[in-house]
Structure 1
Amino acid sequence: MPLTILSGAQLRSLLLSLTHDQIVSIQQSLANALRDYSVGNQESGCAATLQPRRTAVTRKCGRTTLFMPSSTRRAIGIKVISLEDKGGTPGCEVESGEDLRGVKRVTAGEPGSRDSVTSVSSEMSELSLSSQEDSTERSSSVSSESDPLPSASVDSKPIEAGVSKTMGAWPGAGTRDTSPKGSITLLDDNSLPFGLINAEELTPFRTALTATMIFNKRKRVRTVVVFGAGKQAYWHIRLALTLRAEDIKRVIIVNRSFERAAQLLQDIYATENSSWRGEVKFSAVSSEFGEYGRILHDAINKADAIFCCTPSHVPLFPAELLTSREGRRKGRLISAIGSYKPHMTELHPDILREEVAVHPPHRHFHKHVRRSGVVVVDSLDAAMKEAGEIIQADIKPNQVVEIGELLMVRDATQGSNAADDEKHLREWVERGNVIFKGVGLGLMDLVTGSDLVELARARKIGTTVEDF
Structure 2
Amino acid sequence: MPLTVLSDGDVRALLHGLTKEDILDLQQSLADALHYYSTSTGDDANGCCSSYQPLRTALKRSDGQTTLFMPASSNDGLGVKIVTLSGPTAKKDDAASLSSFDGLSLSTQSTSSSTTAFDTPQDSIASSQSTTPKGSLTLLDKYGATRALVNAEEITAFRTALASTMLFKKRTNVHDVVVFGAGKQAYWHIRLALLLRGPEIHHLNIINRSFETAHNLIEKLYLPHKEPAVFPTINIPTAETTDLSRPKVQILTPGHTEYERLLKQTIRSSAVIFCTTPSLSPLFPASYLTNPEGRKKGRYIAAIGSYKPDMVELHPDILRQNVAPQHSHHHHRHARQGGAIIVDSLEACMKEAGEIIQAGLGGREIVEIGELLMLKRDAERRRQEAKGSDHELDNSGVELGQAKKAKGTNKEVDDAEKGLGEWLHRGNVIYKSVGLGLMDVVVGSGLVRLADERGFGTRVEEF
- Common fold: TM-score over 0.5: yes
Specify the code of the residue in structure 1 equivalent to 2:275: C
CA contact (8 A) 2:342 2:366 kept: yes
- Counterparts in 2 of 1:24-423, with a 5 A limit? 24-40=24-40, 42-85=44-87, 165-168=120-123, 170-171=125-126, 174-270=127-223, 275-361=242-328, 363-408=329-374, 411=378, 414=382, 415=385, 419-423=414-418
Identity, % of aligned pairs? 52
C-alpha RMSD of matched pairs (Å): 2.1
Post-superposition offset of 1:449:
0.2
User: Which SS does the other structure have where 2:81 is aligned?
Assistant: strand
Query: What CA deviation, in whole Å up to 9, does each residue of 1:125-176 have, x standing for no partner?
Result: xxxxxxxxxxxxxxxxxxxxxxxxxxxxxxxxxxxxx8582144541xx423
User: Which SS does the other structure have where 2:242 is aligned?
Assistant: helix
Equivalent residue number for residue 398 of structure 2: none
Post-superposition offset of 1:262:
1.4
Specify the code of the residue in structure 2 equivalent to 1:29: S
CA contact (8 A) 2:87 2:125 kept: no
Equivalent residue number for residue 102 of structure 2: none
Q: 1:62 to 1:341 in 2, by over 3 A?
A: same
Cα distance between partner residues in 2 of 1:186 and 1:457: 14
Cα distance between partner residues in 2 of 1:359 and 1:298: 26
Q: Which deviates more from structure 2 when the two are superposed, residues 41-50 or residues 162-171?
A: 162-171
Q: 1:208 to 1:359 in 2, by over 3 A?
A: same
Query: What CA deviation, in whole Å up to 9, does each residue of 1:301-358 have, x standing for no partner?
Result: 1110000000000000010110011100010001000000000000001100111112
Gaps of 5+ in 1: 88-161
Cα distance between partner residues in 2 of 1:9 and 1:380: 34
User: Which SS does the other structure have where 2:27 is aligned?
Assistant: helix
1:433 aligns with 2:428: yes
CA contact (8 A) 1:340 1:439 kept: yes
Equivalent residue number for residue 19 of structure 1: 19
Cα distance between partner residues in 2 of 1:378 and 1:53: 13
CA contact (8 A) 2:58 2:68 kept: yes
CA contact (8 A) 2:4 2:149 kept: yes
TM-score (norm 1): 0.80
User: Which SS does the other structure have where 2:155 is aligned?
Assistant: helix
TM-score (norm 2): 0.81
Equivalent residue number for residue 139 of structure 1: none
Equivalent residue number for residue 117 of structure 1: none
Cα distance between partner residues in 1 of 2:424 and 2:79: 32
Q: Which deviates more from structure 2 when the two are superposed, residues 208-217 or residues 295-304?
A: 295-304
Equivalent residue number for residue 131 of structure 1: none
Cα distance between partner residues in 2 of 1:14 and 1:245: 21
Cα distance between partner residues in 2 of 1:373 and 1:248: 28
Post-superposition offset of 1:25:
0.3
User: Which SS does the other structure have where 1:245 is aligned?
Assistant: helix
CA contact (8 A) 2:178 2:204 kept: yes
Cα distance between partner residues in 2 of 1:445 and 1:359: 37
CA contact (8 A) 2:209 2:254 kept: yes
State how many pairs are aligned: 392
Specify the code of the residue in structure 1 equivalent to 2:74: T
Query: What CA deviation, in whole Å up to 9, does each residue of 1:395-447 have, x standing for no partner?
Result: 11100000001114994893479611011101110000000000000000000
Specify the code of the residue in structure 2 equivalent to 1:11: V
Cα distance between partner residues in 1 of 2:455 and 2:35: 32
Equivalent residue number for residue 93 of structure 2: none
1:463 aligns with 2:418: no
CA contact (8 A) 1:163 1:314 kept: no
User: Which SS does the other structure have where 1:317 is aligned?
Assistant: coil
Cα distance between partner residues in 2 of 1:461 and 1:370: 46
The structure 1 segments of at least 4 consecutive aligned residues displaced by more than 6 Å after TM superposition are none
Query: What CA deviation, in whole Å up to 9, does each residue of 1:72-105 have, x standing for no partner?
Result: 1221000101112157xxxxxxxxxxxxxxxxxx
CA contact (8 A) 2:138 2:148 kept: yes
CA contact (8 A) 1:168 1:310 kept: no
Gaps of 5+ in 2: 90-116, 224-235, 387-409
